[in-house]
Amino acid sequence: MAETENTGALLARIDDYIEHLFAPQDEALEAAVRESRQAGLPEIQVSPNEAKLLQLFAEMVGARRVLEIGTLGGYSAIHFGRALPEGGELISLEIDERHAEVARENVERAGLSDKVEIRVGDARELLAEIAENDEGPFEVVFIDADKGGYPEYLEWSLRLTRPGSLILGDNTIRGGTVLDPEDESARATNEFNERIARDSRLSAILLPILRERIDGLTIALVRGG
C-alpha cells in the first residue's frame, strides 16, 4: 500500500510539474473552473495538462473548424477557441441547457464568443443536422460526452472529417474498466477503441492519462482509404 501511495504522490507531483511549466492557469481558465463549480456542474472537466494537449493538437493540424461533443462548463472549449485563427469556429454540443448557459458565460469571459458556438440538444440529433446542413468537414472532433454513445459518435465523426483530421476520444481507459468491461459505459468505450484500432481509414493510438486515476485519450488521424 505504501508503494502505491508513493507512486500516486509522485504522479501528482509530475502532473503539477507539467502544469506549472506548460499549462499555467490564467484568470479566464480559473474563473471557468470556479464558476462551473459554483453553478453545481460536475467536476469532470479535462485536466489543465490534457486541455493544453487538446489545444496543441488543434494548433498542429492548423484547425479552422473544430467540433466538440460534450461542452460541460466550457473549459476545453476555451482551449480550442484559443487554438483557432481569425475566422475559425468551434461548434460545441451540450445536452444540458444549464451547462450550456454556464459555458457561454465562461467563453464570453475568455473573449471567445466570436469563435465558439454552443448548441443545446441531443448530440445525435445535432450531429445529423450538422451533416444535413453540410457544415463539415472539421479538422478536429473531440468526443467527451455520454460514454454509451461513443461508437455512434465515432461514425458521425468519420462522416464529418477529412483526411488529415483528428478524432479524439476522452475517458477511454476509465480506470482500467475497459480491460474487462462489465457495465454499459465500459463496454461502449471498449467498442469505440476497438473500432478505431481496426478501421483502415484511421491511424491511431490510445494514450494513458495519469491524474487522480488512470484514464486515457484515444487519438486517431483520418488518413482515408
pLDDT digits (tens, 9 = 90+) for 153-207: 999 999 999 999 999 999 999 888 888 888 899 999 999 999 999 999 999 999 9
Cβ burial, residue 40 (10 Å; 0-12/13-18/19+): exposed
Give the CA radius of gyration of the chain: 17
Does the domain at 2-222 match CATH 3.40.50.150? Answer given as yes
- pLDDT category, 4, cuts 50, 70, 90? low
Q: How far apart are CA 63 and CA 80, in angstroms?
A: 9
The string of pLDDT tens digits covering residues 100-148 is 999 999 999 999 999 999 999 999 999 999 999 999 899 999 999 999 9
Ranges of each domain in the chain: 2-222
Q: Label residues 142-151 b or e (16+ Cβ within 10 Å = b).
A: bbbbbbebbb
